[in-house]
Amino acid sequence: MEQVITLIQTVGFPIACAVAMFLMLNSEQKAHKEESQQLTSTITDLKISFSDAINSQKSDMVSAINNNTLVIQKLIDKMESK
């Protein structure tokens, strides 16, 4: 607290306020940078998870379509043989 009083007495109140605002802004920017990095990391992880889930579903759908095609072909073959 004495440092603040000494600063105000030495350089004046407006300059002391400007220094305090600079320090506060600097700490806010550091906190914002960390938050942004965490959000970017989380978004990247979500993109990878979503992409993996879509690819897994795509594989299952291709397999189901292929199985349906085989069944339809068998039905056509049975109908043609009668």
**7 contacts 16 by C-beta, under 8 angstroms:** yes
Query: Reduced to 3 states, what is the DSSP secondary structure of residue 68?
Result: helix
> pLDDT digit of tens for each residue in the chain (82 aa)?
888 788 778 888 888 889 889 999 999 999 999 999 999 999 999 999 999 999 889 988 999 999 999 999 999 999 988 7
Rounded-to-integer distance, Cα 80 and Cα 82, Å = 6
Q: Where are the domains of the chain?
A: 2-81
